[in-house]
Chain A
Amino acid sequence: MSRSGQLEEIPSYESSPGEGHGAASPVDMSSLASGPGIRSVAEVVAIIGVAVGVFVGLEALLILTEVPAYVFPRPTAVVATLFNDFTTLYLPPLLQTLRSFGLGFLIGSSIGLVLAAVITQRPFVEKIIAPYIIVMVTTPMIALVPFLMLQFGFGMTPRVIAVALASGPMVMINAATGFRRTDSAMIALARSYGASTFQIFRRIRFPLAMPMIVVGYMVGSIFGLLTAVGAEMVGGGMGLGNRLVYFSSLVRIPQFGASLAIVAALGVSLYVLFFLVGKRWASWES
């Protein structure tokens, strides 16, 4: 790969496979991608037991202390409205949130991934671009929504852009950390079998970067969801974020709780999805 110029490197094996791992990235949440697996029936029973305990305990506490339903929703009331009104009250907002989130995340993460792969090939370009990426990662992109609405109106567009802007840089910064780990011995091995630059990318660099890419997608998706819901709260659309504002303004607390539960379930699903993806495609690292 590095046949560039006369400055050849002395072949060495000093670089370890983990080179550069987590060195420069301000957002290295690789621990998110690995977690304790469930091992035994006893563990499953304990986990379900505690969950039921929390649910029943909260219900009992609210009944005993006679907290009114408009102050804090009873779990049973939330579950009841979720079951009874799901298709009318919650499904349309859920689908709308999913649409703007899904589209924004797809666009943002794809651009982020491609940019990371390209930019890490050119350290000079990377140095120039890095500060902007860090600014984008650290600035809450919800802040841009009012401005985007000014430009693109009250439709889905500003939300999709906000989600893409929130998730893309997060995917990029983590994927770049992954792509930056080059293992000169592995690349030499591939080259000794006549591998092309593309083959080296596909067979060595990409799998080597995979664990960090999964982390990027996980964190990016959660940032994207955050931004999607936040953008709906700021204005526009009838998504879950909008419903949260709507129900709380009418003090329909059980409905508010149900919307919140759906948002939470979405976040957890994303986490689990990428956890499983990581387990399938990037488990070699742990």
Chain B
Amino acid sequence: MARGAELDAAPASTNGSAPMASPKIEIRELTKVYEGATEPVHALERITESVAEGEFVAIVGASGCGKTTLLWGMSGLHPITSGSVVLDGEPITRPVPDRIGMVFQDATLLPWRNLKSNIEFPFEIKKVAPDRNRIAELIEIAGLTGFEDSYPPELSGGMRQRASIVRALAQDPEVLLMDEPFGALDAFTRDEMNLLLLKLWEASKKTVVFVTHSINEAVFLADRIWVLTPRPGRLARVYDVPFSRPRELDLHYDRDFIQLTREIKADVQGGTPEGAGA
């Protein structure tokens, strides 16, 4: 775990420290303005940051700070007003299904398809033969073996979300964008999912951008944490997370873990009035 050691050595730095490797994703001056009911809403203002190859970045912030908007902007699903998102040197203007996988807030399984058919859904859209070995392997790792023929309503919330992660990973994307994927799960299931996600990530070394409203979860999972402040959505601060990998659930009780969580929390809550300046 060279990366872990590297991060261990680096002190929790403050603003926008550039990652050492060449960036996988570069966000330049990303601005997003919505037509609001009365006046334009500045959802995101001039966000500039980058994500290194194989890095796990978490985006946190108060609700309405533009976390999801930023992620959707990175995915190409929603157009941005100005600035750019660049993946390996190529600007993203539309979804890049071969390279970016999305995991959504609710599992978004299609209720008329069974689990296996849901996982094969992206292959159908792309009109390629499903990689059955890979799917079987992922189903095994995700603990879904034996439920291939079950329909989504018959599965628990955790199983549904695991299936949706398997669906994304089966495409073998280089980048995984996750939009509060575990927000709707109970605390125990959430811990379980976090461990599974780390296991999958450590095995595959994909670049992950993970939006969450749980600072705890962000600190537990990520290499770096971006803190957004709302109205207009700005990148207030970037934290390095120094804890070594593989991480265990006990980390939650570590003094430094709690300290870092507290610090970020203060940032998220305090960032609202002064940080905005609008």
Contacts and interface: CB of A to CB of B under 8 A. Distances in A.
B151 interface: yes
Contact of A284 (B72, B97, B151): B151
Q: Which of A3, A6, A11, A195 has the most CB of B within 10 A?
A: A11
A66 interface: no
Range for the number of chain A residues in contact with chain B: 20 to 34
Interface residues of B, number: 31
B95 to A, nearest CB: 5
A8 B104 contact: no
Contacts of B100: 192
Interface string B88-126: 000000010100111011101011100000000110111
Interface in A207-221: 207, 210
Given A191-B95, A193-B97, A194-B126, A186 B105 contact: no
Given A284-B111, A284-B151, A11 B78 contact: yes
B35 A199 contact: no
A7 interface: yes
B77 A203 contact: no
B97 A186 contact: no
A283 B102 CA distance: 28
A10 B112 CA distance: 27
B110 A204 contact: yes
A6 B102 contact: no
Nearest to B32: A8
B69 interface: yes
A204 B109 CA distance: 11
A186 B110 contact: yes
B112 A203 contact: no
A195 B171 CA distance: 14
B25 to A, nearest CB: 16
A82 to B, nearest CB: 41
Contact of A185 (B101, B104, B124): B104
A7 B151 contact: no
Contacts of B105: 13, 185
B106 A190 contact: no
A196 to B, nearest CB: 9
Interface string B145-163: 0000001010000000000
B43 interface: yes
Contact of B77 (A17, A186, A192, A282): A192
Contacts of A203: 110, 121, 124-125
Contacts of A19: none
Contact of A10 (B34, B106, B111, B153): B34
Given A11-B69, A192-B95, A6 B110 contact: no
Given A188-B77, A189-B108, A192-B95, A10 B43 contact: yes
B212 interface: no
B151 A185 contact: no
B220 to A, nearest CB: 24
A246 B123 CA distance: 61
B59 to A, nearest CB: 14
Interface string B32-60: 00110000010100000000000000000
A17 to B, nearest CB: 7
B68 A11 contact: yes
Given A10-B43, A189-B102, A193-B95, A17 B78 contact: no
Shortest Cβ-Cβ A-B pairs, 3 listed: A194-B97, A192-B102, A284-B112
Given A192-B101, A284-B153, 4 more contacts: A11-B68, A192-B102, A193-B122, A193-B171
